Structure 1
Amino acid sequence: MSMTLRKRAVLAAGGLALVAALAWAFSPRPLAVQTAAVTRGLYEQAIEEDGRTRLRERWVLSAPVAGRLQRITLREGDAVAEGDTVAWLQPGAAPLLDARTERQNRAQREAAAAAVQRALATEAQARTAREQAELAERRSAQLAAQGFVSATQRDADRLNTHAARQGLEAASAAVRMAREDLVRAEAALAPPAAALPLSRAGGQAPLRLRAPHGGQVLAVPLTSETSVAAGTALLEIGDLRQLEVVAELLTADAVQARAGAPVQIDRWGGETPLRGRVRRVEPAGYTKVSALGVEEQRVKVLIDIDPDQPAAAALGDGWRVGLRILTLRQTDALQLPVAALFPRPDAPDPQGRAMAVYTVDAEGHARLRPVTLGGRNGQQAWLRDGLAAGATVIVYPPAGLTEGARVQARTP
């Protein structure tokens, strides 16, 4: 009898073990998911785009009269100072003027004289603007020392002073160019024998062509001795200390790139990024076809490079750079990965701020939680409310995930 009871006990235990094994085999498994934690920290939102450098001002030296150009020895990259002799031009014989041409030349001389007066007035305005900018910078420095002005306003005043000084330099160069145009117009009215200086041999002496502004030679279109017509471009000069960056942004992004916004300039070839600020967003947009054949509305944004960066001297005209224009900065912000977000099915939001996430509770179950966003970038999203720091969210939630489902964090 004891053997019979023992066999029955063994069979019962085996049956229970089999039932338990079948129950375990057919019970639902926890869904393996990838998780991340909600954290606090610095949140930044920026526009990333490519740009190119360009000179604010460039000066093109052209032939004042027709003649024989002697060989130009300067080459691209050579430094020149204002007033340096850069070329020699042997003028051709001046033609006799008829009455109609003489009247035209007189009108050009009057126009050139008026251009000189206009350039002088512009120079005076630029000088006044520089003095106002310098005065504002000095006042800003005094108030900043007392704690009444922010560092951002002080940087803006310093950049305005730098821009005003460059504007005065450009206005002074315009005065010199206008005076040269007046000399050219007066020479066109002079008699053939007196229009140009004579050499000791009795012929016309070559004209000395001088650099209108200091800087570096950018282009030399004609390197050999040749005959040129009046107005032919002979030399292009630019000051590489007056570089700016031009970016072509989508119009929707350009609305956020306000004047004065800080800019990080990278991928320019140097070891460290450069600093800059948005100076102007041009008011007129244009249509540009992308590489995929899509028509896009874009607008040009002009960016000033901070002048107190020695590394910026390595940049040249027309160089490609990477830009990161900061549009939003929030300290001590709640953040979570963008991949954890999905639209709320119960509250459609065209602005994309009413979103939802799945969190994991202490028992390992998924819980649907609505959240409100303050912004998002390519990797992180800024939470205004809905979660607390330290909460665990599910990243890339599977399509079959539902409220209350058992989940298990996937091992990395």
Structure 2
Amino acid sequence: MNMMHRKIWGWGAGAAAIVALLAWAFAPRPVAVEAGVVQAGRFEQGIEEDGRTRLRDRYTVSAPVAARLTRIVLREGDRVRAGDTVAVLLPVMSSMIDDRTAREAAARHAAASAGVQRAGARVDRARIAVEEAQLELHRTEKLAREGFLSASRLDSARLALSAVQREQEAARAEREVALQERAQAAAVLQPPGPVQAGQPLAVRSPVDGVVLKVAQPSEATLPAGAALLDIGDPARMEVVAELLTTDAVQAQPGRRAVIERWGGPPVQGRVRRVEPAAFTKVSALGIEEQRVKVLIDLDSPPAAWQVVGDGFRVTVRIITQSVDQAVLAPVGALFPFADGGMAVYRIDGKRARLQPVEVAGRNGSEAWIQSGLQAGQSVVVYPPPTVSEGRRVQVRKP
């Protein structure tokens, strides 16, 4: 009898252990989740867009005349002061001519020489005409004094002398023109020789700044207006962002901006101007967008962004809304709820509790909770589909 009782108790204990083991095996496990803490702080909502830096004032130094440029010793990054010599220009040598051009120049010189002879003949003819008019005037005056000619005849003789004198002056001027044309044609025939040492022309920097780009570092012959180098002041830096026109309406002058992702800590700035004209830009997806340039001044001291150069890529965040002492929850904890509302899973001990919330605003990382949560509470971030009301959860360790 005692043996039978012991067997029964043994079978019962084994069955209970098996039932307990099966119950433990098929019991729901806690869901591993990530948790975030609801905090009270400043909520900021803004417009984020890529931008680039540029100097507010950029000066391009160019050659004022056609000249021979000596080698520029300055390089990108060198500092210059206003009035410093940045380039030196020398007179250019005469151009070389080929055989055909030489023959054409010789023909023009011969024609110019013939023109000088023709002009000399006109001068001689005009001189003879003047002498003849003077003799005629003397005879007319003598006869007029004796009463044989009228006064009108005397006036005609005087006018005739004046006319031939003007023709003589015109002939002399034509001879001078012919002489200059012959000299010009003779100059073309002269073979090119070494450049005569002339007074060099120093090109000076218009402002204090840094050399940004050397357009022509080597010695060369340049035409008038050719760019030599670019100079700018890195301390006068601004940021240009191309915003969608719908966003630019909110980025009014005076709005605070934060410059990020440039390789250093965030830099504070402020919107200075929104350009009045928009332009069409095709996005990476092939969609035509209307964008407008927004200019942002940097408020932080230059020491905070002195390593930033011209044309650097940055991220601009223009603040459109700022609220102090707001209840902030991770934006990844929100999910749609009934009737178009939003909700989160609040962690109550080791269980998840469905909590509807009222969201007043959100940005890329945080949501401003108007009601439903309090600072210090924990919520499930990016809740998996297995999480439900009252389900046991286990927070993953970071």
Range of TM-score over shorter length: 0.5 to 0.7
Give yes or no for the alignment of 1:58 onto 2:58: yes
**Ranges in structure 1 where 5+ consecutive residues have no aligned partner:** 94-201, 349-353
Deviation per CA, 1:116-147: give whole Å up to 9, x if none. xxxxxxxxxxxxxxxxxxxxxxxxxxxxxxxx
Describe how 1:69-84 pairs up with structure 2 within 5 A. 69-84=69-84
Among candidates 213, 232, 247, match of residue 241 of structure 2:
247
Distance 2:376 2:394 in 1: 16
Describe how 1:204-223 pairs up with structure 2 within 5 A. 206-223=200-217
Distance 1:22 1:59 in 2: 83
Aligned to 2:269: 276
Distance 2:54 2:345 in 1: 49
**TM (normalized to structure 2)?**
0.60
Aligned to 2:357: 371
Distance 1:206 1:331 in 2: 66
One-letter code aligned to 1:302: L
Give yes or no for the alignment of 1:398 onto 2:398: no
Distance 1:27 1:75 in 2: 75
Distance 1:28 1:314 in 2: 57
RMSD after superposition:
3.8
Describe how 1:143-222 pairs up with structure 2 within 5 A. 206-222=200-216
1:367 Cα deviation (Å)?
A: 3.4
Distance 2:300 2:33 in 1: 50
One-letter code aligned to 1:239: D
1:28 Cα deviation (Å)?
A: 4.4
Aligned to 2:41: 41
Give yes or no for the alignment of 1:409 onto 2:394: yes
- Cα–Cα, structure 1 residues 4 and 317, in superposed 2: closer, same or farther, change >3 Å? closer
1:284 Cα deviation (Å)?
A: 3.6
One-letter code aligned to 1:407: R
Deviation per CA, 1:128-182: give whole Å up to 9, x if none. xxxxxxxxxxxxxxxxxxxxxxxxxxxxxxxxxxxxxxxxxxxxxxxxxxxxxxx
Residue 332 of structure 2 aligns to a residue whose secondary structure is: helix
Deviation per CA, 1:260-298: give whole Å up to 9, x if none. 33334345455x543322222334444444556565554
Among candidates 339, 350, 358, match of residue 345 of structure 2:
358
How many corresponding residue pairs? 295
Residue 240 of structure 1 aligns to a residue whose secondary structure is: coil
Q: Contact conserved, 2:240 with 2:295, CA < 8 A, in 1?
A: yes
- Cα–Cα, structure 1 residues 210 and 12, in superposed 2: closer, same or farther, change >3 Å? closer
**Ranges in structure 2 where 5+ consecutive residues have no aligned partner:** 95-195
Among candidates 334, 347, 352, match of residue 339 of structure 2:
347
Whichever of the two has the greater Rg, that structure is 2
Residue 248 of structure 1 aligns to a residue whose secondary structure is: strand
Give yes or no for the alignment of 1:334 onto 2:335: no
Distance 1:30 1:269 in 2: 42
- Cα–Cα, structure 1 residues 410 and 237, in superposed 2: closer, same or farther, change >3 Å? closer
Distance 2:266 2:23 in 1: 62
- Cα–Cα, structure 1 residues 289 and 90, in superposed 2: closer, same or farther, change >3 Å? same
- Cα–Cα, structure 1 residues 30 and 284, in superposed 2: closer, same or farther, change >3 Å? same
Aligned to 2:228: 234
Give yes or no for the alignment of 1:265 onto 2:259: yes
Residue 347 of structure 1 aligns to a residue whose secondary structure is: helix
One-letter code aligned to 2:60: V
Distance 1:312 1:14 in 2: 75
Distance 1:238 1:228 in 2: 23
Q: Contact conserved, 1:35 with 1:409, CA < 8 A, in 2?
A: no
1:341 Cα deviation (Å)?
A: 0.9
Distance 2:28 2:308 in 1: 63
Q: Contact conserved, 1:66 with 1:92, CA < 8 A, in 2?
A: no
One-letter code aligned to 1:62: S
Distance 2:289 2:6 in 1: 85
Q: Contact conserved, 2:268 with 2:300, CA < 8 A, in 1?
A: no
Distance 1:236 1:70 in 2: 17
1:390 Cα deviation (Å)?
A: 3.5
